[in-house]
Structure 1
């Protein structure tokens, strides 16, 4: 009997990977495609190239029903949820920006005045800024606002300094969120097209970074055009190129192909709104792999690549546009190029790939209106507050000035004024929330006191709001748009805004591929908090400190 048990143990140990295997991957490659809704890769499946999405489908476990578990589906929220396996209520990144009551201002999620931009290369050109969340008063960036460890932090703890940990992105928040507290991060600068960092990571750049930046790869597109990859007749949206509501006129990018990059102050920003920045990001990442020796020994390394073009293109043109369709075709080819390089340098059989997204996106309200849907765009900063003002004065003796800031999805109240007047925050916020609920386009307005006290009905939507609630950073009232309506704020030029708890915004792909994985398509629902937990169990290391997800057994218990 003992021999039988021993033999069975050997068979089991050799049949399942990686729980019982000693051969860990040389590289964990985590790819986050900004604003890649779960269905979008399949919208161009008949035009997939060899080695891109097709490789992921043929060589991995594809979860077709993955969703983010939180309400505010924004970039930093989704990235940190993927990197920590924690809810925003725990990891603390409740939005791309939030109001800090101590500083009495809106703060950017990763700004840190203790640091500066490495080499003086700023992340953003303020004169051409189109991202309204970039409200930082400092050029410094750091992960200090992330309240838990990340998967990459736990890799550093488990494997020590020999494990190389890097993150590259078109956006600063797309890199810092994944590199964690122990890695190194680089991101694209809309100031001069270089890749930059923060003195939190580097006081001076490695020489290879200086040499790469000196080549000025981004400048090659000046006065050039974004042209269609294929014949326009082969596109689903080939007949919908000229839509007047796409792309604001002031950028000089046009709303039909070919799109001119020009040479204006918006030039480096316009590269973000095309496939170019993703291609630059991958080229920079390939140089990093070569110069830093990523995946070249038996100690597992980590590389995060966050691709930002899909998000910018989606914001300006919408996911149901010819521009988004062409960008997806270019994304597929870009992934194929990256995987081919990884195969040459590390070996795909030695690399565990996980690809997901920080959030999805809706079809634009303007496009839906053309189809007869009763939807619209609602600027919450331009609402008529006269009724609220009258009721506040009658009931509490104060007016609309008690509303400190409206920054979707939150309404922030003047807590100091409420305290000085001896008023009850719960009573004031409840009255204001009740009035916001009467506005056409707003489905729900939940007060943070009701969220904190468990006074909301238990529904999928309220659970996502609760998962987004952090008492130190969340606003006093949480607004949720009616499905397919768009909530915006003054100064936001985007055609499309994500950030809701509706399925089009929470839906993302989750794909594990490479190493020893076999093809599987899974339709049962999973959560993005499962990603970091699964990676941790795959490497048999401690999960991040706030992780609450479940290990995905379809990835972990695969027969060889």
Structure 2
């Protein structure tokens, strides 16, 4: 009996020690536009080493959702890593109307910094160079790790999209690297550094993007195995310049010149291949996970988003993209196992938003769905307000969810109330919200909480619109996202690695609970406006 108690005591001590020990590396993976159901719909064509490994050996938070609108890349990445919504972090969309400048502004723009590229001829490129996290109003989990370690933790973010690299890496990152569509290089800005590291210069000099663009994109597996997608030649899919129909295979070498050249790589599965290659190089050359402090690598795969926008969620192209994405995850895990150690890293995988079915598909399937035109709504609303208050240009900007007004001599509150009443009569509009004039909101229930999470006074519109399910902003092909419906809010969330139990939960969680979970796993402070509730099932309670 005494031996039994001694063994129990030793076992508990070992378990406590394991819980106290931190991972050497945290890896955050965001797959742009990945719907939660992709884990299951395409599963028969997945390998055992990618998504299935994470599902079988990790923890699956099956009912994870976004809780604001619009669901988009900029706010999605910001919300994951700050643990809060646009109400606090300020990234209300990828772009918004700047009332002071009277023009659109980009979520990651920063005119005080410039491009850093290994190709010196490119350093004048302001389109992708003026980038930093300065518009992000709160700290990130990566910032808190950097502060907690007194700067000794290494933080690196990588993505094809600048916003997918910058917001996850945070304000205090050692580096954020993104793809230059002009030359195929990975670049940064002077916010982080004056010169790229030698290893990245060497990586760029291998011209990997150029090599990948000389390949032919065919299905990874025989196309007859792709039974979870529609016909290959659908009428609402993008047709590349130089092609007559949207059908695999695609000879990229022939298509690249007329389809943006290096830009094309971000819009085919090989863009994800390049990100995996860069991640492996960063792990090795930056010695991530080799120091005394926990390091953090953020990875955002963006090609999945472009492909969804082009071909839609039922396409052969998207099914093949996720079959290939599975192999990229497998290769990344293999690299982490080798370079960091199988139980030395903690990894999570999620998405920045989902995507909805194209209304053309919905109609063909006898399901409800329609398109709407923000331009047409703007014209109708401006005509109405001109009749009510006199001829003028009342609307500064309108997008698929938000309306911004110009300054007027008529009290703005009165204009907003009248505009809200009119918008409610527009076909397809389900609800209208006026956060600055709350008593005039025309729809109040639990959706109001979503609107509160979405609204940041300086950057948000004066009116937020909510359309009926199945309604989508006009587009010639593919899909988009942005609504508060589950098609856009429901995303995967998988945890794997050091101190992560095996299992799953169907309890509903929101995306802002990733950051507090990491805080509790790492025993570091929460980001300063973070949700404070972690994913409880990941933590085992030990009775003393």
Report how far residue 321 of structure 1 moved: 1.0
Structure 1 residue runs of 4+, over 6 Å off? 5-11, 124-127
Deviations 1:451-493 (A, max 9, x none): 4x695655332211110000111001112221111125xxx66
How many residues are treated as equivalent by the alignment?
Answer: 535
Residues 431 and 443 in structure 2, CA contact (< 8 A), matched pair in contact too: no
Residues 441 and 482 in structure 1, CA contact (< 8 A), matched pair in contact too: yes
Residues 382 and 395 in structure 2, CA contact (< 8 A), matched pair in contact too: no
Report how far residue 366 of structure 1 moved: 1.5
| Number of the residue aligned with 1:194 | 185
- Match of 1:111, SS? coil
C-alpha distance in structure 2 between counterparts of 1:359 and 1:509, whole Å: 10
Residues 252 and 260 in structure 1, CA contact (< 8 A), matched pair in contact too: no
Distance 1:368-1:493 versus aligned 2 partners, 3 A rule: closer
TM-score, normalising length from structure 2? 0.92
Distance 1:515-1:198 versus aligned 2 partners, 3 A rule: same
Residues 121 and 189 in structure 1, CA contact (< 8 A), matched pair in contact too: no
Report how far residue 43 of structure 1 moved: 1.1
**Match status 1:533 vs 2:533:** no
Question: Which piece of structure 1 moves more, 297-306 or 216-225?
Answer: 216-225
C-alpha distance in structure 1 between counterparts of 2:146 and 2:205, whole Å: 31
Q: Please list every run of 5 or more consecutive structure 1 residues that lacks an aligned counterpart in the other structure.
A: 128-135
**Match status 1:64 vs 2:62:** yes
**Match status 1:328 vs 2:322:** yes
| Number of the residue aligned with 2:86 | 88
Residues 116 and 123 in structure 2, CA contact (< 8 A), matched pair in contact too: no
| Number of the residue aligned with 2:394 | 402
Deviations 1:157-214 (A, max 9, x none): 0112221110111110000011101111001121111111111112111111111101
Correspondences of 1:37-116 after superposition (within 5 Å)? 37-116=35-114
**Match status 1:185 vs 2:179:** no
Residues 527 and 549 in structure 1, CA contact (< 8 A), matched pair in contact too: no
Correspondences of 1:126-525 after superposition (within 5 Å)? 139-183=129-173, 184-237=175-228, 240-250=231-241, 254-261=245-252, 262-264=255-257, 266-383=260-377, 385-386=379-380, 388-399=381-392, 401-414=393-406, 416=407, 418=408, 421=409, 423-451=410-438, 458-488=444-474, 495-525=478-508
Distance 1:509-1:384 versus aligned 2 partners, 3 A rule: closer
C-alpha distance in structure 2 between counterparts of 1:253 and 1:86, whole Å: 45
Report how far residue 287 of structure 1 moved: 0.7
The CA RMSD measured in Å over matched residues stands at 2.7
C-alpha distance in structure 1 between counterparts of 2:274 and 2:411, whole Å: 53
Distance 1:238-1:544 versus aligned 2 partners, 3 A rule: closer
- Match of 2:176, SS? strand
Residues 251 and 266 in structure 1, CA contact (< 8 A), matched pair in contact too: no
C-alpha distance in structure 1 between counterparts of 2:134 and 2:378, whole Å: 38
Report how far residue 398 of structure 1 moved: 3.9
Deviations 1:291-311 (A, max 9, x none): 110011231100001011111
Report how far residue 448 of structure 1 moved: 2.8
C-alpha distance in structure 1 between counterparts of 2:364 and 2:45, whole Å: 28
C-alpha distance in structure 1 between counterparts of 2:123 and 2:314, whole Å: 29
C-alpha distance in structure 1 between counterparts of 2:268 and 2:226, whole Å: 17
C-alpha distance in structure 1 between counterparts of 2:363 and 2:127, whole Å: 38
Residues 442 and 482 in structure 1, CA contact (< 8 A), matched pair in contact too: yes
| Number of the residue aligned with 1:130 | none
- Match of 1:338, SS? helix
C-alpha distance in structure 2 between counterparts of 1:149 and 1:384, whole Å: 36
Distance 1:17-1:427 versus aligned 2 partners, 3 A rule: farther
C-alpha distance in structure 1 between counterparts of 2:91 and 2:9, whole Å: 44
C-alpha distance in structure 1 between counterparts of 2:220 and 2:61, whole Å: 29
C-alpha distance in structure 2 between counterparts of 1:514 and 1:89, whole Å: 32
- Match of 1:530, SS? helix
Residues 46 and 323 in structure 2, CA contact (< 8 A), matched pair in contact too: yes
Report how far residue 397 of structure 1 moved: 2.4
C-alpha distance in structure 2 between counterparts of 1:168 and 1:206, whole Å: 14
Question: Which piece of structure 1 moves more, 343-352 or 221-230?
Answer: 221-230
Q: Please list every run of 5 or more consecutive structure 2 residues that lacks an aligned counterpart in the other structure.
A: none
C-alpha distance in structure 1 between counterparts of 2:233 and 2:370, whole Å: 20
Report how far residue 288 of structure 1 moved: 0.9
C-alpha distance in structure 2 between counterparts of 1:300 and 1:65, whole Å: 29
C-alpha distance in structure 2 between counterparts of 1:324 and 1:126, whole Å: 35
Distance 1:108-1:239 versus aligned 2 partners, 3 A rule: closer
Report how far residue 559 of structure 1 moved: 7.4
Deviations 1:257-306 (A, max 9, x none): 01232231512222222211111011011111111100112311000010
- Match of 2:144, SS? helix
